[in-house]
Amino acid sequence: EAGVVQSPRYKIIEKKQPVAFWCNPISGHNTLYWYLQNLGQGPELLIRYENEEAVDDSQLPKDRFSAERLKGVDSTLKIQPAELGDSAVYLCASSRSGQGYNEQFFGPGTRLTVL
């Protein structure tokens, strides 16, 4: 089966510019996650969707970050405006459901560099 697809793979922007990342999860996976991974660190959850509902966005900096999953399939994560500290890899993952016994499948990530 096809894996989690993310685009773009790399993005370089000037600070204060907007940026958007796109994710298409594995077909049939109801749960979608956005993680942020800083260099040398583990992934940190930003937001989790069950179908089109954001069920956990407590770690999402809502003043500049937003996300949507309108039809319960693909998702977009946006940053506006970007800051230097936002430079990181943004990972998308999906699983069949949000139950703890389901493995998460990760996409290759988008590496964001803010200059």
Partner 1 sequence: QQPVQSPQAVILREGEDAVINCSSSKALYSVHWYRQKHGEAPVFLMILLKGGEQKGHDKISASFNEKKQQSSLYLTASQLSYSGTYFCGTDAGGGADGLTFGKGTHLIIQP
**Applying CB under 8 A, which of residues 13, 20, 26, 45 lies at the interface with partner 1?**
45
**Applying CB under 8 A, which of residues 56, 64, 66, 73 lies at the interface with partner 1?**
56
Among residues 48, 81, 50, 76, the alpha carbon closest in space to that of 64 is found at 81
| Residue 22 binds partner 1 (CB under 8 A) | no
The single-letter DSSP state of residue 85 is G
Q: Which residues pair with 11 in a beta bridge?
A: 112
Region for residue 28 given its phi and psi (left: phi exceeds 0; alpha: psi -120 to 50; beta: otherwise) = left
**Applying CB under 8 A, which of residues 36, 107, 110, 114 lies at the interface with partner 1?**
107
The window from 16-24, 39-47, 67-75, 78-86 that contacts partner 1 (CB under 8 A) reads 39-47
The window from 16-24, 60-68, 80-88, 94-102 that contacts partner 1 (CB under 8 A) reads 94-102
**Applying CB under 8 A, which of residues 43, 65, 67, 114 lies at the interface with partner 1?**
43
Among residues 10, 15, 34, 18, the alpha carbon closest in space to that of 85 is found at 15
Query: Mapping DSSP to helix (H, G, I), strand (E, B) and coil, where does residue 86 land?
Result: helix
